[in-house]
Structure 1
Amino acid sequence: MQLRDFIKECHNRSIFKLLSIYIVTAWVTLQVLSVVIEPLKLPQNTVTYFIIISLIGLPIYMLVLWNARLKYKSHQGDDSLMDSIKKEINFKKGYFFSTTIIGGLALFASVLVFNQGLSQNASEIPIEKSNTIAVLDFENNTGDKSLDVIGKMSSDWLIHGITEHDAGQVISPKTIKNYSDLMGVPMNAQFDIKFLGKLLKPNKIITGSFYNVNKDLIFNCVIKNASDNTILEAFPSIKCSIDNPVKGIEEIKQLVLTYLLQDGDKRLILQENPPRYEAFQKKITADANYDNQELYIKLLNESIDLDSTYFEPKVLRVQHYYNNGDYKIADSLIKIIGSNPKLSKRQKNLLLFCEALIDGKNDRIYRHWNQEYIIAPFHLESNSTEMVLLTEFIYKPEKVEEVFNIIPTSDLVIEDCEHCKYRYFMMGLAYNNLEEYDKTIALLEPICKIIDDRSIDFTLMHAYIKENKLENLRDFISKKSLLISNQQKINYFNFIGKNSLLVNNKELADEFFSKSLSQNGGLSQSLAEANYYLGDYAKTVELLQPLLNHDQKSIITTLYLALSKYNSGEQKEAMELLNSLDKLRNNYDYGDVDYAYSQFYASTGNLEKAINHLMTSVAKGNTYLIDNFQYDPLLLSLQNHPNFKKAFTFWH
């Protein structure tokens, strides 16, 4: 039988009509089930079971139709009996073939539905988090009906703030009332708890109340989980004059907004009660301007002025002054923070971290910070700080790559990300510390084409020198020289010269130190260092003596001047200069003076004194940078000393 004849015969026998009854009935039943499943407290997989039963039932229904309606169809029409029998046999074959095909498809679909809806563990099913927030009018507990308007004003104020700052999609009290009228349920606490979460499906519910004490209003506000009505956040009570309720409502809005905007990553919240939103906004803006240190500290100060209880900007302010070498200011700020007896456990840990920074105890610095890092390893600032501490403070370069790889670099816009630069710098420096220079080159070559950062450039150039890729080095510095000032060129040339000495390539070193001297307008200190390494000690003294007369607190100037005089045969004057460094010792030198002593003695052949001062420098909190310890040509003679490696494991 031709397909066209088969379809025509199905139409004549009303098969399509009978099948449509089954399909429509199943569809309507499915829609009803999806609506009543929650009110009737049916199992969540009820709909899945019904779909499977409906699919399997379709071929069974077709078989029932054959036996009940189609099997005994009598001969009609002008066809002969034999033609009618032949047509009936052909139709039967077509019908059962179609039933088999539909049955196979229904079975296949049932298996798919089963795998997706039943066999998959509920914990593996991704659930999209809703950002919908239901805001209710605040309940008036004053007993004065004329103050009901304050309850409505409170919800309106919150809705405006949430919408303005894109903190969520709001369901207003008016929308909730429309639903309550539609359901025939009065607006009361029972409605809120029983139906709001199920009907409108918000993620959170904001509710509150207010009452009066003498001439003051006391506002209370909580944020609840809409699914189970548990309290997510109970804000501290806000007190204001009954004549100025807007002040109290504004305070509530500030707290709610900060909570909602931080709620995406609650691990970063450092205090029990959210700060004022305006203060929080200043801190966020400061984070975005980290590369502009003047604006950064200005915004942190403004954030603290807006909310004196806001802990995080206080810690960031301490770190800012520490990083800029203003250790006394940082120390005094730590003492002010520590005077608060109500610090949380986490706040106390961060305070201990700051105190360890000031004390120069690198092991304690890392231990306290690592507790913070474990809480938020994917936070960019936390992650980059962890890398800095591992590389520069406790010297564990083998652990840096694991931290670096936690945050996918493909998701970051490196040009606009100051902490990204630190991460790449630390990763490259760690590779160099591990003598895996090929990894440094592979990592930093493409990065240097995107961003302009001297530390990253220096790290890459060191790897080129160590791998003897001098052609790559010359190509890199040739292109870089087109973009930087003469003083910057001197800095780059001097760095190449010093690192060339580390691999005993004096010819390359002399070439680049000479290039430094060929630049116009260079700083005397930089030019003096180039002259020193070229062996022109008289010129070095000529350049450095005026600098020391102007600034007698410069350790680096005193060191190179002392070395130049020593190499010129003026040992007595050299030792007097060296001993003058003792006047620069203080609680915040972090081993700088002892490190200078180590450089002097290593360069003049007294290795035992050099190693002793080096270890003292480490114990006082010196850090492992790109230009000291194994990267310092003045310590080159010390690197084969049996105790030199102990400097790198001191904090382990």
Structure 2
Amino acid sequence: MTLNSFFKQCHEKEVFKMLSIYVVSAWVILQVLSITWQPLGLPQKSVTFLIVVLLICFPLYIFFLWKFRIVPLQKAEIDTDEKDQKKKIAFQKMYFSALGIIASICVIAVFFIVNKNFFQGNKTLLPKIIQSDKIAVLKFGNNTGDPQYDIVSKMASDWIIHGITENNVAQVITQDLVDEYKAILKGKNVEEDETTIVKEYLKPSKIISGNFYLKKGKLIFQGMLIDGKTNKTIISFKPTECATENPLKCIEDLNESITGYFITADKKNLTIQESPPKYEAYKYLIEAKNSNDDQEYITLLNKAIETDSTYFEPKVLRVQHYFNQREFKKSDSLLKLIKPDSYTNKRQLNLLNMHEALLKGNNRTVYNTYLKEYEIAPSDLGSNSTIMIFALQFVNRPEDVEAIYKTVVMDSMNLQNCRDCIFRIYVKAYADIELKNYNSAIKIIETAQKENEIKYLNRPLLIAYIRSGREEVLEQFLRKIDITATSAEAQELYLQAGKEYLLKGNKPKADEYFNKIINSEPNTVAPEMLADALFYKENYAIAEKVLSKIHTNEPKNSNVLSKLAICNFKLGNISDAEKNIQNLENIRANFQFGEIDYALAQYYAATKNKAELYKSLLKSVASGHVFHWKYYKNDPQFIDYINSKEFEEVLNFWK
């Protein structure tokens, strides 16, 4: 069949007519959506989604034309001879060939559209501001009644234009261009109102305008952003105040607010602020989030707060930073200074409640409140890693970690430049270990270690090797550690190996590792490391001497006091043991999160006082003591109790 014959039959069967209906209808729908997506509150990429859907549906529509229109027509026709039958077969082949070509074109088009709009990441530290249609910046109205301030009107618009163009927000329609149009249109049947000219002839997507006036000897600037299509006010910026001799300060502050709005406009769900932050403050916050240095991090947060005193997020991050640094009093005092933008801002209130619960040791509330924050941006590495920690260490829910971890695809991540990525692997490995998925933990760590030698992944790897019974691989791993690691790093792993074998009930094997520490050169072993090795080997006499020296230098070290009291008891020095237990009680203070009760529980475990043991463990967990790799069922001091019903109650306290 020739192409002309094919087109002729398509015309006879009204194929082109039906296709034109689809194309015209699709075009009308696109035009309507392109105008109404913003007033309807739809996502900015709604038009893109619709184009993709229409392209996918087009070949399906052609197929349905065949099935429900052409096939019934052919059945109604009477075949007079074999020639007519061949024509039908030839038409069918050409029709489906055309369908295949159109489907291929649509698929390729969809691929390019999706790839361009949804999978091209931003490589800069600061996110690019959304490219929009043109933005008109009009001259600010001088409401002072003093002509000397007319120059300030022009200065304000020029400064805002500079901020928009410098930060690549959009193409700008200037006041000069508006004035040109006013001159050109003069005398024509057009109102000379600037707003009318801007809307009817220049058609920007947004209009920035404002005015300024005098109040008690001060200049007050007001600015607003208007939708160019609907003429509705998108946002009224907070008024700025300055001295009459320094109007530039007001203009700079307003410019910062406008630029801050545009840079956060596409992140409404992620923005904690009710009003946009100043752009300079936002830049400091982004730099802080990308810093790997604690001092630089807190310095940049402080700069963000100094630049914009109303900026909520850096204030919360500062509270969190000092909590992580164990400066709990400072964290608490800074938290009390933070006020939400309003008491209807649920997200700000939720974050404040979370940090308050964190400082009170209410771990269930910490987890539940932060889950709301995580659900807003589950793929954000910071939020993702934080909720993993809360699940594992705060509420002892290692089973929750897997789903959270899988939210972020790690295949293309560069671990050398991603601290949160490494930390996620660290937490995921410990969660796997708690769930006895040792092979999974080993695999994820070994894969990461091939890309980047990460020292703090060595401990979970060693634990997984021992608990999975891979002793040959363990020995090979430790031989490598002896060569590549420092003495202190190697001793940490020896101590952990010894404790792991105690948990497995293999004391002779455990003692081999403790002896590696005890027999090290004296100047290469830290006193507390030596004391721990002697203590776990049950060499209480020497351990007591070492611990006593440490206690003299660190009288408030609860771990040392607990072990010292146990050594006293094991050696029959009951009065000394009771004295050190009283010393433990005497160092109780705020923000210890069950530390003292946990230390007492260790003592009661050694003295076989079950009632006080379980009571102290419950008090410790209720006060916010975390489920760490060295606590509770991972602590060999509780080896005789970890399978009891009461111990299980402790582990499930926050579930």
TM range, smaller chain: 0.7 to 0.9
**Partner Cα distance (1:341, 1:461) in 2:** 50
Q: Which structure 2 residues correspond to residues 548-587 of structure 1 after superposition, within 5 A?
A: 548-587=551-590
**Partner Cα distance (1:612, 1:139) in 2:** 72
Name the aligned partner's letter for residue 649 of structure 2. Answer: K
**Partner Cα distance (2:35, 2:335) in 1:** 58
1:514 is aligned to: 515
Indicate whether 1:189 and 2:195 are aligned: yes
Are residues 608 and 106 of structure 1, via their aligned partners in 2, closer, same or farther at CA, if it must alter by over 3 Å? closer
1:359 is aligned to: 360
Contact 1:490 1:519 in 2 (8 A): no
1:223 is aligned to: 225
Shift of 1:454: 4.6
Are residues 380 and 344 of structure 1, via their aligned partners in 2, closer, same or farther at CA, if it must alter by over 3 Å? same
- Post-superposition Cα deviations, 1:294-335, rounded to whole Å, max 9, x if no partner, equal 222222222222222211111111111111211111121222
Contact 1:494 1:530 in 2 (8 A): yes
**Partner Cα distance (1:517, 1:148) in 2:** 83
**Partner Cα distance (2:193, 2:514) in 1:** 83
Secondary structure of 1:625's counterpart equals coil
- Post-superposition Cα deviations, 1:218-265, rounded to whole Å, max 9, x if no partner, equal 333333455655544331122334432211110012112222222332
- Post-superposition Cα deviations, 1:76-128, rounded to whole Å, max 9, x if no partner, equal xxxxxxxxxxxxxxxxxxxxx9xx999947992699389959xx9xx999978
Indicate whether 1:112 and 2:102 are aligned: yes
Secondary structure of 1:637's counterpart equals coil
Structure 1 residue corresponding to 2:634, chosen from 631, 636, 650:
631
1:457 is aligned to: 458
Contact 1:136 1:155 in 2 (8 A): no
Secondary structure of 1:132's counterpart equals coil
Structure 2 residue corresponding to 1:603, chosen from 586, 603, 606:
606
Shift of 1:165: 3.8
2:131 is aligned to: 131
Contact 1:207 1:223 in 2 (8 A): yes
**Partner Cα distance (1:38, 1:308) in 2:** 43
Contact 2:213 2:219 in 1 (8 A): yes
**Partner Cα distance (2:551, 2:117) in 1:** 67
1:70 is aligned to: none
- Post-superposition Cα deviations, 1:193-221, rounded to whole Å, max 9, x if no partner, equal 34545xx7xxx524021132355443333
**Runs of at least 5 residues in structure 2 that lack an aligned partner in the other structure:** 5-22, 37-46, 63-86, 119-128
Q: Which structure 2 residues correspond to residues 481-560 of structure 1 after superposition, within 5 A?
A: 481-520=482-521, 521-560=524-563
Shift of 1:406: 1.0
Name the aligned partner's letter for residue 527 of structure 1. Answer: L
Contact 2:361 2:623 in 1 (8 A): yes
Secondary structure of 2:171's counterpart equals strand
Which one is further off, 377-386 or 453-462? Answer: 453-462
Contact 1:276 1:307 in 2 (8 A): yes
Which one is further off, 291-300 or 181-190? Answer: 181-190
Which one is further off, 186-195 or 343-352? Answer: 186-195
Shift of 1:382: 1.3
**Partner Cα distance (1:587, 1:515) in 2:** 38
Contact 2:394 2:626 in 1 (8 A): yes
Contact 2:139 2:157 in 1 (8 A): no
**Partner Cα distance (1:42, 1:466) in 2:** 62
Secondary structure of 1:317's counterpart equals helix
**Partner Cα distance (2:563, 2:96) in 1:** 87
Structure 1 residue corresponding to 2:271, chosen from 269, 272, 294:
269
**Runs of at least 5 residues in structure 1 that lack an aligned partner in the other structure:** 1-5, 11-29, 56-96
Secondary structure of 1:209's counterpart equals strand
1:620 is aligned to: 623
**Partner Cα distance (2:384, 2:483) in 1:** 34
Shift of 1:531: 1.4
- Post-superposition Cα deviations, 1:593-627, rounded to whole Å, max 9, x if no partner, equal 11111112212322332122111111111111111
Contact 1:462 1:499 in 2 (8 A): yes
Shift of 1:584: 1.4
Structure 2 residue corresponding to 1:160, chosen from 150, 162, 166:
162
Contact 1:548 1:554 in 2 (8 A): yes
Contact 2:601 2:616 in 1 (8 A): yes
**Partner Cα distance (1:194, 1:111) in 2:** 43
Shift of 1:373: 1.7
Which one is further off, 236-245 or 616-625? Answer: 236-245
**Partner Cα distance (1:322, 1:178) in 2:** 57
- Post-superposition Cα deviations, 1:373-410, rounded to whole Å, max 9, x if no partner, equal 22222222111111111111111111111111111112
**Partner Cα distance (1:190, 1:125) in 2:** 39
Provide the TM-score with structure 1 as the length reference.
Answer: 0.77
Name the aligned partner's letter for residue 535 of structure 1. Answer: E
Shift of 1:637: 1.1
**Partner Cα distance (2:209, 2:520) in 1:** 70
Contact 2:340 2:349 in 1 (8 A): no
**Partner Cα distance (1:349, 1:210) in 2:** 37
Which one is further off, 502-511 or 452-461? Answer: 452-461
Provide the TM-score with structure 2 as the length reference.
Answer: 0.77
Contact 2:462 2:474 in 1 (8 A): yes
Contact 1:138 1:210 in 2 (8 A): no
2:11 is aligned to: none
Name the aligned partner's letter for residue 643 of structure 1. Answer: E
Name the aligned partner's letter for residue 457 of structure 1. Answer: N
Identity of aligned residues (%): 28
Name the aligned partner's letter for residue 572 of structure 1. Answer: S
Are residues 467 and 106 of structure 1, via their aligned partners in 2, closer, same or farther at CA, if it must alter by over 3 Å? closer
Shift of 1:494: 0.7
Are residues 315 and 157 of structure 1, via their aligned partners in 2, closer, same or farther at CA, if it must alter by over 3 Å? same
Shift of 1:645: 1.0
Contact 2:224 2:236 in 1 (8 A): yes
Contact 1:489 1:516 in 2 (8 A): no
Contact 2:374 2:384 in 1 (8 A): yes
Are residues 308 and 109 of structure 1, via their aligned partners in 2, closer, same or farther at CA, if it must alter by over 3 Å? same
Q: How many residues of Structure 1 are paired with residues of Structure 2 in the alignment?
A: 570
Structure 2 residue corresponding to 1:244, chosen from 232, 246, 259:
246
Q: Which structure 2 residues correspond to residues 87-102 of structure 1 after superposition, within 5 A?
A: none
Shift of 1:492: 1.5
Q: Which structure 2 residues correspond to residues 379-390 of structure 1 after superposition, within 5 A?
A: 379-390=380-391
Contact 1:137 1:151 in 2 (8 A): no
Give me the CA root mean square deviation. 4.3
Are residues 470 and 303 of structure 1, via their aligned partners in 2, closer, same or farther at CA, if it must alter by over 3 Å? same
Contact 2:140 2:157 in 1 (8 A): no
Contact 1:132 1:171 in 2 (8 A): no
**Partner Cα distance (1:639, 1:439) in 2:** 24
Are residues 325 and 116 of structure 1, via their aligned partners in 2, closer, same or farther at CA, if it must alter by over 3 Å? same
- Post-superposition Cα deviations, 1:551-579, rounded to whole Å, max 9, x if no partner, equal 21011111122222222222332232123
Are residues 629 and 455 of structure 1, via their aligned partners in 2, closer, same or farther at CA, if it must alter by over 3 Å? farther
Larger radius of gyration between Structure 1 and Structure 2: 1
Name the aligned partner's letter for residue 134 of structure 2. Answer: A
Indicate whether 1:282 and 2:284 are aligned: yes
